[in-house]
Chain A
Amino acid sequence: MAYREKLAAVNFTAMALVYAVYFTIVATRPPEARLLDMLWLFGMVATAHALVAIGGNLAVRIQSGGGAADERDRAIERRGASIAYAVLLVGMILVGVVMPFTEAPGKIVNTALFAIVIAELTHQGVILLSYRRGWHG
């Protein structure tokens, strides 16, 4: 596995694991939870994500030796970012245009966060698949 392929795998796994825990907690607790409690939980999860991602990235860098991105890496990155942008756009339309008329603030905030997480997972997932399947943009 190439260096940047490993990085994408680490970033995808870190985000998927940490935010799976967050959204499981949010989905299973009582709906009347205070916004401050939710923000506190999010702060802990975001910190955990940062620590896991930084640790994983450092481990990959030490193991693989790092290296600058070349033109193919950049083409793959562009493909991932453009597809993730479309996913994020759909999520933000849902959160900003549709949900304010029907949903509570806490649910809107968490749906926005969910859209961001899904978009980033799409970004890293497309990069990973591009390396594995030979899609080069």
Chain B
Amino acid sequence: MAKGALSNQIRMLRFMAGEMTQAELGLAVGVTRQTIAAIEQGKYSPTLEAAFRIARVFDKPLEEVFQWEEG
């Protein structure tokens, strides 16, 4: 299996969206603030559905929010 890591731009996108808080993003996506924090830190990989929901909140395509980096 190919090794790699999922990274994301959520923190920057939140900042650009008027300092949106993790709790506000969590509410919009339907997950807890702790889950958003875990996703941001790369500790938890969201489901495809949650990833699309996050991208939809920022009105960005999925690949601008999440990136797959080959290890």
Contacts and interface: CB of A to CB of B under 8 A. Distances in A.
Nearest to B32: A70
Q: How large, as a class, is the contact surface on chain B?
A: 10 to 19
A64 to B, nearest CB: 11
Main secondary structure of the interface of A (DSSP, over half): helix
Interface residues of A, number: 11
A73 B32 contact: yes
A67 interface: yes
Interface string B31-43: 1101100100101
B20 interface: no
A71 B46 contact: yes
A70 B30 contact: yes
Contact of B32 (A72, A75, A134, A136): A72
A2 interface: yes
Given A134-B43, A136-B43, A136-B44, A71 B31 contact: yes
